[in-house]
């Protein structure tokens, strides 16, 4: 069993911190695609940092960037919708009993699909405006706020029940379409 460590920086520019997590997501996705790796360990680390990252963005980053007029309400809401889609795909991945099945491979592919779409959009429509329109001092302060919430979620841990509750909340908030629609 491999222990995938999740970096826990204590400060930094919020844009760079978010980008660092994006690269970590991509690395852990590669591990989950590799049948010779500790796929269960990679999945656990991926789930933990993914949820912590998304919750920190929604609680700290998006609202503050809106207040600074770096992004508008639509961009923030779209980011939250994409987080909900990623969490829904993550739930399917976490519900897989083993990591050596076609169901697991299919779930990894689905998570990767929605994740890559989100990372590309977020880097273009949220992080670029943050770089251009938010001062370095404000990005540092926002980085600290992001890391505080991220750390709280990492400390709390992520279970399949945690992700199931996030998906249920997203449905209740109208961020995800019901399967019946």
Angle 84-49-142 from CA coordinates, rounded to 5°: 85
pLDDT means per 10 residues, the chain with 181 residues, are 85 98 98 96 97 97 93 93 97 96 98 98 95 96 98 96 97 84 47
Nearest residue to 158 (alpha-carbon basis) of 94, 99, 96: 94
CA 90 to chain centre: 10
The per-residue pLDDT for 179 is 62
pLDDT of residue 180: 54
pLDDT, position 3: 78
Q: What pLDDT score does 181 carry?
A: 47
| Nearest Cα residue to 46 out of 84, 97, 113, 93 | 93
The conformation of residue 126, written as its DSSP 8-state character, comes to: I
Global pTM value: 0.95
Q: Which pLDDT value is given to residue 2?
A: 59
pLDDT of residue 148: 98
Q: Cα separation of 161 and 170, whole Å?
A: 14
20: left (phi over 0), alpha (psi -120 to 50) or beta: alpha
């Amino acid at each position: 069993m491999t222990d995938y460590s999740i970096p826990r920086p204590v400060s930094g520019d919020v844009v760079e911190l978010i980008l660092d997590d994006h690269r970590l997501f991509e690395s852990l996705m590669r591990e989950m695609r590799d049948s010779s790796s500790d796929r269960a360990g990679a999945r656990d680390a991926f789930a933990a940092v993914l949820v912590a990252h998304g919750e920190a963005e929604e609680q700290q980053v998006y609202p503050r960037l809106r207040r600074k007029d770096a992004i508008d309400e639509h961009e923030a809401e779209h980011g939250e919708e994409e987080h909900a889609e990623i969490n829904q795909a993550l739930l399917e991945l976490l519900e897989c009993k083993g990591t050596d099945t076609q169901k697991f491979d299919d779930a990894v592919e689905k998570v990767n699909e929605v994740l890559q779409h989100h990372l590309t959009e977020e880097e273009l429509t949220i992080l670029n405006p943050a770089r251009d329109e938010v001062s370095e001092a404000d990005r540092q302060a926002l980085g600290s706020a992001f890391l505080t919430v991220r750390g709280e979620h990492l400390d709390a841990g992520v279970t399949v029940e945690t992700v199931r509750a996030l998906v249920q909340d997203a449905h209740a908030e109208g961020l995800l379409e019901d399967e019946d629609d």
